[in-house]
A and B are shown apart, each in its own frame.
Chain A
Amino acid sequence: ETGVTQTPRHLVMGMTNKKSLKCEQHLGHNAMYWYKQSAKKPLELMFVYSLEERVENNSVPSRFSPECPNSSHLFLHLHTLQPEDSALYLCASSQDRASYSGANVLTFGAGSRLTVL
């Protein structure tokens, strides 16, 4: 258990469905992230939140909508997805976004594996 919990672990949805991915961190961190990892591709940063404020949207299509109600919870709302959106979605947290200390590391959740039919 890493201290970052993601649900659901697996999700299958049709292109017209609406679903949400949930992430919760118990580490007292101030920054939270969504990453996408497609098969045989590197990690792609999607969104960054610092103290519940979105500080980065990495040119992600609007069919992905993040929400950060507090510093411990992060959601990714999904609607009208495409088959190419099938991937592993990873949530991560770090102490903060500014410090470059070697102790300020990213801790990942186990991921939500999404299949869009």
Chain B
Amino acid sequence: RKEVEQDPGPFNVPEGATVAFNCTYSNSASQSFFWYRQDCRKEPKLLMSVYSSGNEDGRFTAQLNRASQYISLLIRDSKLSDSATYLCVVRGYGQNFVFGPGTRLSVLP
């Protein structure tokens, strides 16, 4: 089983739609969690860290369920500019950042 798994995608949604991505991780000792965004042929950029109580940044909401070893990202009111690949990242204490394979999102006009 891979350490970090994500929805295979691609997700093709119309502008204004709400879309949710899921991520599961296998290492129960994982301590910190992140969502990164990667545009085509560009470097990954931090979208948001994910905190135990869940957190929101504008149209983006992240949730963490430690018991189920599951992380989610919700994007509301999708914009064309949200089109990208979304990478789930986890790490344990003193461990490396482990990246999921990513889920590609295309927001259509």
Q: Say whether chain A's binding surface is mostly helix, strand, loop, or mixed.
A: loop
Which residues of chain A come closer than 8 Å to B94, judged between CB atoms?
Answer: 97-98
Closest A residue, CB atoms, query B33:
A102
**Sample of 4 more A-B contacts, CB < 8 Å, known A43-B44, A88-B41, A106-B89:** A97-B96, A100-B32, A103-B49, A111-B42
Closest A residue, CB atoms, query B94:
A98
- How many residues of chain B get a CB closer than 8 Å to chain A's CBs? 26
**Bound complex: CA of A103 vs CA of B46, how far in Å?**
11
Answer whether residue A66 sits at the interface, using C-beta atoms and an 8 A cutoff.
Answer: no
Interface string of A77-117 (1 = CB under 8 A from B): 00000000000101000100110111111111111010000
Q: Say whether chain B's binding surface is mostly helix, strand, loop, or mixed.
A: strand
- How many residues of chain A get a CB closer than 8 Å to chain B's CBs? 25
Which residues 61-109 of B sit at the A interface, judged by CB distance below 8 A? Answer: 87, 89, 91-94, 96-97, 99-102
**Bound complex: CA of A104 vs CA of B31, how far in Å?**
11
Residue pairs across A and B with Cβ atoms less than 8 A apart, 5 shown, are A42-B102, A102-B49, A106-B36, A109-B43, A110-B42
Interface string of A52-79 (1 = CB under 8 A from B): 0000100000000000000000000000
Closest A residue, CB atoms, query B98:
A45
Which residues of chain A come closer than 8 Å to B49, judged between CB atoms?
Answer: 102-103, 105
**Bound complex: CA of A73 vs CA of B97, how far in Å?**
20
Closest A residue, CB atoms, query B97:
A106
Our pick among B87, B93, B100 for the contact of A100 (Cβ within 8 Å) is B93
